[in-house]
Structure 1
Amino acid sequence: MSDWVEISVIAENGEAAESVAQILQRYAYQGVSVEQLDIPPDTDDGEVPPPQRMVVRGYLPQNERIEAVKEEINAVLSLASQLVPFAMPEYRVVREEDWAEAWKVHYHPIRIGRKLVVRPLWTEAELQPDDIEIALDPGMAFGTGTHPTTQLCLEALEDMVRPATQILDLGCGSGILAIAAAKLGASHIWALDIDPIAVEAAQANCEQNGVADKITVQTGSLDSVITSARRFDLVVVNILAKIILQLCEQRLGETVRPGGRAIFSGIIESQVEEVEAALRKTGLEPSGRRQIGDWVLIEAYRPST
């Protein structure tokens, strides 16, 4: 039975966190997680404070190459830290039997927006009468509610979802956004991800939250949507700016019905203008922004004519 090495890097802002995540994704098993540090559990006023610091985590197999891998990671991060502010990595060994549980200690119930409460399955949250609870076990899939990009999407969905809304969640991760949309009243959500592990986690979370009848979770990509000829009232894309740019070149705007809307998150402030220009080229018109710290969500619509 093999052990694992957890690597964690504290970044001072969103730009630094994205830089670290892009580096660690080359090495970490099943990707990395990015979370906001120091979130007060169950914030009374429903407002999650702007992120001051982020932590990026990943897991490396502890094998005969681990010391060489750590040396390489340290060297690459050392160079990158000269451009953006973050600390050098910390490492700790996690036993195989504890690996699946190790990251759970970092997650607690949080309030987002006016009435959304996101809690891990292994904890309980104190709810108000009008609260909408989302209970998650994200597994190794992205989407726990602690990342500002996810928080921005949840706040946008709370404002934008209406009864009978047909929604596409492209890159669904743990399913958190699809579940929120279903509980906010959307009629149906098509949740796609290219990662089978994410699809499995999302399906389990949909069932846990009692909304599996309103959400279709499948392994798939933008091409799956384009070739299906399906178009949506609201499209949600919470990935990374560079992926959104690539998708714009692959007819992303066609997924939105004329008159429909879309939200794009995973974008840092310095990338906004480039992303908005790409959205215009794919037939969408940016109409608003939401921001937490360095992270920005772009709202857009597809003109009716």
Structure 2
Amino acid sequence: MPWIQLKIPADPDNADQLEDLLMELGADAVSMEDAADQPLYEPDPGTTPLWHRTCVTGLFDATHDIEQLCGQVHDAWHQRTQQSLPEIDISLVEDRDWERAWMEDFKPLRFGERLWIVPSWHDAPDPAAANLLLDPGLAFGTGTHPTTALCLEWLDGHEVEGSQVIDYGCGSGILGLAALLLKAHHVIGVDTDPQALEASRENARRNQVAPEKLDLYLPGDEPDTTADLVLANILAQPLIMLAPRLASKVRSGGDIVLSGILSSQAREVMEAYEPWFVMDEPEQREEWVRLAGRRRDR
């Protein structure tokens, strides 16, 4: 049986209301998706972030009269908000196993020569490689965004075996766990969100990482120690403010890798770190860049 699919543009202030309205009108399923390719980073505790431009999609039984259904949606929205809805995109879609279709969209991703991110329902393409089992999610990194991919490729292309690593803004733990699979000795993960720390902990268990290899902390609770490598995939302004703090965590001759930076912000971030680091030229993918530098002698 086919389904009627209604796609409606929304913003963060009205997306939840629109979701509720579609369910009240009999939608069998409602989903939200990014309408502008905007990355979402780790949310504040207790929040569920939405994109600035969101598309709310409702699936209805095909027995509905399409014209009548759209009229009901417009009328109900106007009664509730005293506002008009944007134009509704209407299509008929085939009946299918939606969960399986969603899973099929996510396949193993390769980063460099040695490192793969593998969804749990897939076999590892190269069993001898460093295979990080990680499933897609909304807010936490899974390797699909250029900022994360750039950091993973740096890890793959550098020797991290035996090193002490700090992953600042660890989210899902993807960068720190990748370092451990590439034989780093120990990782300290730091994040402002307790949910992110729990996600890192769960992903470590899934990847059979020994508990003593990964320690997780809220900012300020981490031990006062230096590392061979500091990774920070956050955003440009926090990276600028954190420059003295992150620099203090890198030993002489150690490396820092920074991402979450738009190409237009690269020079400002580099200048914030140049008092302590010899910075490489930015590595760019789409509009995002990765910065890396080597710590000068203290």
CA distance in 2, matches of 1:181, 1:166: 10
**Do 2:111 and 2:156's aligned partners in 1 also have CA atoms closer than 8 Å?**
no
Find the counterpart in structure 2 of residue 238 from structure 1. Answer: 233
Q: Which amino acid aligns with 2:234?
A: I
Choose which of 19, 35, 52 in structure 2 pairs with 1:9. 35
SS in 1 for 2:156: helix
Summarize the Cα distance change of 1:102–1:167 in structure 2 as closer, same or farther, 3 Å threshold.
farther
Q: Which amino acid aligns with 1:260?
A: G
Find the counterpart in structure 2 of residue 50 from structure 1. Answer: none
Greater mean deviation of Cα atoms: 136-145 or 201-210: 136-145
1:287 partnered with 2:287: no
Percent of aligned positions that are identical: 33
Summarize the Cα distance change of 1:294–1:139 in structure 2 as closer, same or farther, 3 Å threshold.
closer
Summarize the Cα distance change of 1:32–1:146 in structure 2 as closer, same or farther, 3 Å threshold.
farther
Number of equivalenced pairs? 242
**Do 2:35 and 2:55's aligned partners in 1 also have CA atoms closer than 8 Å?**
no
Find the counterpart in structure 1 of residue 49 from structure 2. Answer: 31
CA distance in 1, matches of 2:216, 2:54: 27
CA distance in 2, matches of 1:111, 1:165: 23
Query: Which structure has the larger Rg over C-alpha atoms?
Result: 2
CA distance in 2, matches of 1:251, 1:196: 21
Find the counterpart in structure 2 of residue 154 from structure 1. Answer: 152
Quote the offset at 1:285 in angstroms. 2.8
Which segments of 5 or more consecutive residues in structure 1 lack a partner in the other structure? 12-16, 34-54, 60-65, 79-87, 91-99
Find the counterpart in structure 1 of residue 129 from structure 2. Answer: 131
Quote the offset at 1:168 in angstroms. 0.1
Match runs of 1:73-84 below 5 Å: none
**Do 1:265 and 1:296's aligned partners in 2 also have CA atoms closer than 8 Å?**
yes
Quote the offset at 1:104 in angstroms. 5.4
Quote the offset at 1:288 in angstroms. 3.9
Q: Which runs of 4 or more aligned residues in structure 1 lie more than 6 Å from their structure 2 counterparts after TM superposition?
A: 55-59, 100-103
1:218 partnered with 2:216: yes
Find the counterpart in structure 1 of residue 181 from structure 2. Answer: 183
Which segments of 5 or more consecutive residues in structure 2 lack a partner in the other structure? 1-19, 24-29, 57-75, 90-98
Quote the offset at 1:299 in angstroms. 0.6
Find the counterpart in structure 1 of residue 164 from structure 2. Answer: 166
**Do 1:109 and 1:117's aligned partners in 2 also have CA atoms closer than 8 Å?**
yes
**Do 1:149 and 1:266's aligned partners in 2 also have CA atoms closer than 8 Å?**
yes
CA distance in 1, matches of 2:245, 2:226: 12
TM-score of the two chains, using structure 1 as the length reference: 0.66
Find the counterpart in structure 1 of residue 15 from structure 2. Answer: none
CA distance in 1, matches of 2:55, 2:105: 13
Find the counterpart in structure 1 of residue 254 from structure 2. Answer: 260
Q: Which amino acid aligns with 1:30?
A: T
Match runs of 1:34-113 below 5 Å: 106-113=105-112
Quote the offset at 1:154 in angstroms. 0.7
